[in-house]
Amino acid sequence: MVFSPFTLPALAFLSLSASASPRPRTTSSTASLKLAVRINSEGITNVVAADRARAQALLQGSSSSSIDATNAVRIYTTDVGVGSPPTNYTLLVDTGSSNTWIGGYKPYEKTTTSQDTGGQFSVAYRDSSHVSGEEYLDTVTLNSHLVIEKQSIGVVADYHGNHSLDGILGLGPVDLTQGTVSNAYEVPTVMDNLYAQNTIISEVLGVFFSPASSGDSSGELTFGGYDASKTTGPVSYVPITSTSPANKYWGFDQSISYGYTPILTKAPGIVDTGTNLILIATDAFDKYKSATGGTLDETTGLLKISPDQYDQLLSLYFTIGDGIYELTPNAQIWPRSLNSAIRGTGTTDGIYLVVSDIGNNSGSGLDVINGYCFLERFYSVLDKTNSQVGFATTEYTHATLN
């Protein structure tokens, strides 16, 4: 989470260009970018503590690039080219932050398209580590159909983090970049520039993740729209919430019921690819814990249930706008094939629930985080053009994988 070191007079605020060399608007409606999932081979002791720390950082509402890669069990990455000719960098995909930066593991290779803006960027994390360095403009190649000229990117000079990753691809709203670069009020995101340069016809991002426990452990981002071939039903939309701080992210209002029992009513939440679990307000979690009979596993921080309790588990229903999204019993449990990724579980066939405590009661302004375990069961559409978020079912919504 960023704690900006820069306090500049209003007259000194500059905006980095979002309209370099505009081209005629493409006739193609969308272009897709393939993702890969990585499992943290070193494991993590307490996945809930890691996710909850991120949640509390998001709740503070500061501008942010907020992934702590060292604490992620599952992370989705994509290879992005920078420069001309491009050097490929493996970047984390993050909808909870908006700055794009490189140089964490692989150093920045300057080419004829590299332009130093003269600005300094700085991003601080919840664990007191940070990234900082210079802000450049450069050609960024997501794939052959998604090439951005003069994209603003941070080039790190000081990095402490996951040494198999090169940086972050920020896909959150542009407001989250405010205060992160010394000579700019905010910096246009990848999505901003794709639209400004007429590469896509609308500022819409489709997000598809297949569960890591499935045979197809991959994902896909679709820029300019969504991929209907990945959905099994219509997309239902809901407006961006007006409640702060959820409204600074891809935030929306939702209600949750366990079976027929309401546990959370019209609460603001966000889509966040940087969170592994589904986090809900403490008062709602207490109701969920009581209803499921789960007991807290001190090592993992997850609720653990017996096979008999799993057989009695009811579906968890998320009401979002006019849509009702069913998280089946199988979708509520951590993939047993990935138990080894959580150090200290003690058993490979233990059953752990993926719904956990966000760390504050409802009414905080951020009561739900729909992380990977939700997003791997539903297709999501992040629509800046119409200030809305949409969801649809996929082939994995009711699949038995875990």
Buried b (16+ CB within 10 A) or exposed e, 264-285: beebbbbbbbbbbbbbbbbbbb
Task: Please report the pLDDT score of residue 48 as a whole number.
Answer: 81
End-to-end CA distance of the chain: 32
Digit-coded pLDDT (tens) for 9-46: 222 233 354 545 555 544 456 789 888 877 654 555 57
Superfamily of domain 229-393: Acid Proteases (2.40.70.10)
The ranges assigned to domains in the chain are 62-200, 229-393
Task: Please report the pLDDT score of residue 13 as a whole number.
Answer: 30
Task: Please report the pLDDT score of residue 128 as a whole number.
Answer: 47
pLDDT confidence band for 76 (50 / 70 / 90):
confident
Written as six digits, the tokens of 290 are: 């009581």
- Dist. CA 51–CA 356, nearest whole Å: 9
Task: Please report the pLDDT score of residue 226 as a whole number.
Answer: 95
State the catalytic residues.
94, 272
Of 254, 265, 267, 241, the C-alpha closest to 323 is 254
Task: Please report the pLDDT score of residue 34 as a whole number.
Answer: 87
Task: Please report the pLDDT score of residue 136 as a whole number.
Answer: 98
Digit-coded pLDDT (tens) for 324-349: 999 999 999 998 888 877 755 556 77
Digit-coded pLDDT (tens) for 361-387: 999 999 999 999 999 999 999 999 999
Task: Please report the pLDDT score of residue 256 as a whole number.
Answer: 98
Q: CATH code for 62-200?
A: 2.40.70.10
**pTM assigned to the model:** 0.87
Q: Which residue has the higher pLDDT, 131 or 317?
A: 317
Q: Which amino acid does the sequence have at 99? A: N
Task: Please report the pLDDT score of residue 23 as a whole number.
Answer: 55
